[in-house]
Amino acid sequence: MDQPRTPRARARAELTREIKERALQQLAETGADLSLRRIARELGLVSSALYRYFASRDQLLTALIVDAYDDLADVIAAADATRLEAQHSERWVAACLALRGWALAEPHRFALIYGSPVPGYQAPADTIAPAERVMRALSGIVQAAAVAGGLDELDHHGELDRSLVLQLERVASLLGPDIPPAALARVVGGFGQVVGMVNLELGGHFVGGFEPADALFELTVRRVAGDLGLA
């Protein structure tokens, strides 16, 4: 954010970083237990010192969650950017693969944001905007396709429920105003699928079946792109 001017401010930024780093390391090791005292111990501090940096354990967790959303959104955007702008299908696939790649590399961080909620932790409103960034990193591709006219007309096996259309239009206004309702439903469904398959993979549900799950995953996200009619 801001450039730290004084030595003290620089030290503060550095320690804040180190605290979060240790916290992540702990999540990686113990699964989901996060102990302030242990972090302090590892940093050679007394436990109460951490309260100069985070007002509570929950606030530290919130910071980790926000960081995770941000990093994931960046990773997706970066993968998206490696493809030609007009090749929306390839962009979608690359974005989904990047999401999975990040999740496999940082399973505990993925669990933090898309796994089941941490015991006793209630996500504050601060996490909503970052969470939306991730969604937007995906929906943005479809929005671009819609604007460029690279999105098939979808036949929706019968009409969509009226109240569902209203929901979809409201969400579209946030995630991609030009994405038609039927297409947005598929985008959300596709996102749910990606999150779900990654969760299954991380949970060991594919062990003995799809290991590695690379091919299955790519086939699946490619089909979503195809169903959306992305060019």
User: Would you give the binding string for a copy of itself spanning residues 77-116, x where CB under 8 A is met?
Assistant: ----------------------------------x--xxx
- Site for a copy of itself contains 4 (CB under 8 A): no
Count of positions (residues) in the chain? 231
Q: What is the Cβ-side half-sphere exposure of residue 39, based on CA atoms within 13 angstroms?
A: 27
CA-CA distances (angstroms) from residue 11 to 50, 82, 93?
14, 36, 41
Which residues from 120-159 bind a copy of itself, rule CB under 8 A? 120-121, 123, 128, 131, 157
- Could you say whether residue 31 binds DNA (CB under 7 A)? no
> In the set 32, 49, 104, 160, which binds DNA (CB under 7 A)?
49
Name the nearest CA neighbour of 106 among 57, 58, 68.
68
**Which of 21, 56, 124, 164 is close enough to bind DNA by CB under 7 A?**
56
Query: Rounded to an integer, what distance in angstroms lies between the CA atom of residue 48 and that of residue 205?
Result: 41
Distance CA 59, CA 45 (A): 19
Nearest distance from C-beta of residue 58 to DNA, angstroms = 6
Q: Which residues contact residue 197 at a Cβ distance below 8 angstroms, ignoring those fewer than 6 apart?
A: 100, 213, 216, 217, 220
121 binds DNA (CB under 7 A): no
CA 195/CA 115 separation, integer angstroms? 9
Q: Which is nearer to DNA, 14 or 85 (CB)?
A: 14
Binding residue for DNA, selected from 32, 58, 74, 210, defined by CB under 7 A: 58
Binding site for a copy of itself (CB under 8 A): 30-33, 111, 114-121, 123, 128, 131, 157, 160-161, 163-164, 167-168, 170-171, 174, 185-186, 188-189, 191-197, 199-200, 202-205, 208-211, 215-216, 219-220, 222-223, 226-227
